Structure 1
Amino acid sequence: MNALKKSLLTFVCLLLCPPVFAAAPAPLPTAKGRTGRVGTTTAVLDRYALRCQGRAPQRDVRTQSTALWGTKLTWDPEQVTDERRSVLASIDGEAVRKAAAGVKALRLEEGRLVVWPESSSDVVGTVLQGTDTENNPVEVAICGAEPSADDPSVEWYRIEAWNAVAQEWENPCQANALAHSPRALAVSGVWDITGARQDVPGRVTLACETGAISKCVNWGYKPWAERDGKSLADLHQACTRMARADYCGNGRSHTLNGTDIDMYDAFGMLKRTTHASSSWNPAHASFEAAWAPDGAACLARTRYGQTLESIMRECPGRFRTDGAVDFEDGDRCVVRRENVTPGTVLLRNRSYGKH
C-alpha cells in the first residue's frame, strides 16, 4: 500500500537463520513436546512426491471472520474449536524436510523467503517443518511464489500442509467468498494464542491473506519497514489487534465478517476518511477505540454493541473510568488504560457500530 495514500477504507473480512541441511530430515517434534526422528522412508518420499498437485479440496469454505493467521482452526470440519487455534502457526527454518540439491536453508529478507546459500534454486517445492498452535508438527510445502505487483519486497506463496487426518496435502489457508484459494505472506516472528508476537530465531509465520497478520502488511504496515526512522513493527502489531477488535489483548475478537472500518495512524500513513463514497459514509461512523500492540489503549464503545462493562469484566484491572482521553476531532475515549495520552497511541479507528 502506497505510504502516500491519503485514506483507506478497510473491508475487514474477519475475519531466517542458521544453515540447515536438507539431505536428511531433522528430528521431528511430536505432540506434547516429545521428540523423535523420522527416517527418509519410501512412504515419506512418496508423500513428498504428492505435494503441490492441487488434488485436495477445500473442505470448509466458511469465512473465518475472527482470523489472526487466516488458517483453518482444525483439520476436522466437524470439530467445534476455539477461534484462537490454527493448523499452522509457524514454520521452522532449522528443519528443512525436502529441498532442491544445494539448498541448506531458507532465510527471510523483508517479505520474501530466499534460499541459502546463494544458488540458482528457488523456494518452490521446498518442504518445511512447522507447528500448529498446540506445538504439534505439521509439514508445509511451498507450491508457488508470486511477487507482489505493488511492492518488490513482498512475495505471495501458495502453500500446502500435510493433513494427517485426511492423509493428503491441503491448503491450510481458510477460504472465503473473496479468496477461494488463499495465498500466504512470510512474516518474521511467531504469534501465540493470545495474539502476542515474539521473535524466535529461525521461525517464520506464513500468514494467509484472509487473516489479520497478512492484511495489516497489505494495508501498508510492513513490520520490517520504517517510517521517518521508526520501525513499523509495533504499528503492524497494533493493527492486528484493531482488525479483530481484540480489546483485551487476549486473542479474542469482538467483530463479525463484513465489517467496515476506517483507520488512521500516528505516522500519517493512513488518514481519516472525511468524504462520503459508495462504500463509506463518515457521517454514519463514530470513534471506536485507540490501539496499542497489546490491545486497545482506550475505548469509546465496542464495534458490535457489547457494553464496555462486559469488556472490563473480560479483562479485569486493564481499563479505568476515571478520566477520558480526548484526541480532538470527535475522538474521545471514556475508558482507558493507565498512562494513556494522545501521544502514546499508534492507531485509531472509526466504525458504524451495531447494525
Structure 2
Amino acid sequence: MRKSVLGGLFLVLAGPAFAGEPSAPTQKKPGPGLAVAPVSEAERYARRCQDRTSNRAVWPQGTMLWGTRRVWGDRHEPDERRSVLVSVDLAPLKPVSPKVPSLRLEGGRLVASPEASRSLVGTVLQGTSSDGKPVEVAVCGAEPSPADSELVWYRIEAWNSRAQRWENPCVGTSQIPDPRALAVSGVWDASGAHQGVEGKFTLACENGVITKCINWGYKPWASHDGHSLAELHQACTRMARADYCGNGQSHTRQDTPIDMFDTLGVLAPTMERSAVWDPERASFEATWAADGASCMARTRDRRALETVLRECPGRFQTGQAVELGNGDRCTVQRAGVSPGAALLRNRAY
C-alpha cells in the first residue's frame, strides 16, 4: 500500500490563486462592458496555440471540480458550480487532418481514430460551458507523463468569444501557475455527479479535484485487485471538496491538512509524523460514497454540523454514535446507509 498524497492535499483547499489569462503581446484586453469586433473563422483558427505572454490576475477561488475558470473576464463569479468548460465532444470540429474523423479515449489518453499515431496538436474540439453555450477548444500540446505511461497532459486553449482571443481555461495557482489538463471519460454536472455521455469527455485541469484524485491513485478507468476504481474516484472528488451533501457545494478553508484512506487499500492511513502531517493532531471527519458523505463527525471548515443538515434536509440523521474502529466515530449518519460500507474515509485537523 502506498501513501504519497499529503503534500498535494493542501492544493484542493480554498485560497487566492492566479488564473492564467494568456494574451498575444499585440492584443489589448478590452475594458469592462466593451464589445470586441468578431474575427473571421480563418483568422480565429490561425490564432490558436500561439506563444503568449502571461497576464495573470488574483482570483478568489474555492475548491474546484473541473479546475477551470467560472466565467470569462475579470468579474468574480461566486458560484463554484459554474465553468467555462464542462464537456468536450470526441468528434473534432477542426482536425489537423481530414483523415482523423473522430477521437477515442484509452485510459487517460486521447487517440486519433483510425490513425492512432497521428498528432492531435492543433486540433480544435467542440466544448460546452456549464450554461450550455458552445466553446471551441484547441489542443496546443500533448506531453506524455514521465511518471505514468497511461497519462498524457494536454495544453489547451479555449476561444473567449467576449474578448475574441484564445485563453487557457484552466485556473493557475502559486503551486501550478500554468496548468495543463487530462482527458477523462464522461462529464460532471453542476452537482458534481459523473455521467457517462456517449461521444463526450472532460478536459480536467491540474488544479481541479477530478485530476487530483487521479494523481492520488484513483484512476476511474483502472482497477485494483480486480475492483474498479471508478466509484472510488468519484467518492474522492466529493471528499476533496468536502461536498457532504453531494450537491456540488464545498465546505473547506485554506490550508486545512487532510489524510485519506480507502477500503481497497490503494491508500492507507498515515501513521508517522512528518513536516506536512501530524496524526496526533488529526480527528475523524467523514466517510464517503460516490454521491457524498455517508457519515460525519465534524465539518472541515469547523462550521456547526447543523448547517450541513439544513443544507440537505432529510439526507442525514442524528442518533447513537457509531464506532468505525481506530478511534473513528460517526455522530451523523446518512439515512439508510451503513457507515461501514463507505469507500473512503478521511481525517483532518
TM exceeding 0.5: yes
Asked if the contact 2:294–2:337 (Cα under 8 Å) also holds between the matched residues in 1, the reply is yes
1:89 is aligned to: 86
Work out whether residues 56 and 169 of structure 1, in 8 Å CA contact, stay in contact via their aligned partners in 2. Answer: no
Aligned-pair Cα RMSD in Å: 1.7
Residues 326 and 54 (structure 1), Cα distance of their counterparts in 2 relative to 1, 3 Å cut? farther
Distance 1:57 1:8, change over 3 A: closer
How far 1:326 sits from its partner (Å)? 1.7
Distance 2:128 2:148 in 1: 29
* Cα distance in structure 2, aligned partners of 1:125 and 1:138: 16
- Residue 217 of structure 1 is matched in structure 2 by 214
- Give the residue type in structure 2 aligned to 1:338: A
Assess if the C-alpha contact under 8 Å between 2:69 and 2:84 holds in 1: yes
Distance 1:262-1:130 versus aligned 2 partners, 3 A rule: same
Question: Residue 210 of structure 1: SS of its match in structure 2?
Answer: coil
1:54 aligns with: 51
Shift of 1:245: 0.3
AA matched with 2:250: S
Q: CA deviation at 1:76?
A: 2.0
1:322 to 307, 311, 319: 319
Q: Quick one: which amino acid aligns to residue 319 of structure 2?
A: D
Instruction: Kindly state the Cα deviation for residue 43 of structure 1 after the two structures are TM-superposed.
Output: 1.3
Match of 1:283 in 2: 280
Q: Residues 119 and 252 of structure 1: is their aligned pair in 2 closer, same or farther, counting only changes over 3 Å?
A: closer
Pick from 86, 107, 113 the counterpart of residue 104 of structure 2: 107
1:313 aligns with 2:307: no
Determine whether 1:144 maps to 2:141: yes
Letter of the aligned partner of 2:72 in structure 1? W
- Counterpart of 1:11 in structure 2 is 10
1:100-139 paired onto structure 2 within 5 Å: 100-118=97-115, 120-139=117-136
Q: Aligned partner of 1:310: which letter?
A: T
Secondary structure in 1 aligned to 2:159? strand
* 5+ residue gaps, structure 2: 15-37
Mapped to 1, the partners of 2:4 and 2:159 lie a distance apart of 40
Q: Match of 1:103, as an amino acid?
A: V
Q: Deviations over 1:252-304 (max 9, x none)?
A: 00012332110000111111111101111111111100000000011000001
Which residue of 48, 63, 66 corresponds with 2:63? 66
- In the alignment, the residues of structure 1 paired with residue 343 and residue 309 of structure 2 have an alpha-carbon distance, to the nearest angstrom, of 22
TM-score, normalised relative to structure 1: 0.87
| Uncovered stretches (5+) of structure 1, i.e. residues with no partner | 16-40
Structure-1 residue corresponding to 2:342:
345
Q: Does the 8 A contact of 2:68 with 2:169 survive in 1?
A: yes
Q: In structure 2, what residue type is equivalent to 1:200?
A: V
Q: What is the number of equivalent residue pairs in this alignment?
A: 324
Distance (Å, rounded) in 1 between the aligned partners of 2:2 and 2:344: 16
In the alignment, which of 190, 195, 199 is matched to residue 196 of structure 2?
Answer: 199
2:160 to 145, 152, 163: 163
Question: Does structure 1 retain, via aligned residues, the 8 Å contact 2:295–2:331?
Answer: yes
Q: Percent identity between the aligned chains?
A: 58
- C-alpha displacement at 1:181, in angstroms? 0.8
TM-aligned CA distance change 1:120 to 1:266, over 3 Å: closer
Cα distance in 2, alignment partners of residues 42 and 166 from structure 1: 10
The TM-score normalised by the length of structure 2 is 0.89
- Segment of structure 1 superposing worse, 136-145 or 98-107: 98-107
Alignment partner of 1:288: what SS?
A: strand
User: Are the aligned partners of 1:56 and 1:168 in contact in 2 as well (CA < 8 Å)?
Assistant: no
- Whether the 8 Å contact between 1:291 and 1:347 is mirrored in structure 2 is yes
> Structure 1 residues 180, 42: closer, same or farther in 2, change over 3 A?
closer
The residue number in structure 2 matching 1:301 is: 298
Once residues 122 and 61 of structure 1 are traced to their aligned partners in structure 2, the CA distance between those partners, rounded to angstroms, is: 35
Superposed displacement of residue 64, structure 1: 2.6
Pair 1:119–1:314, CA change in 2 (3 A): closer
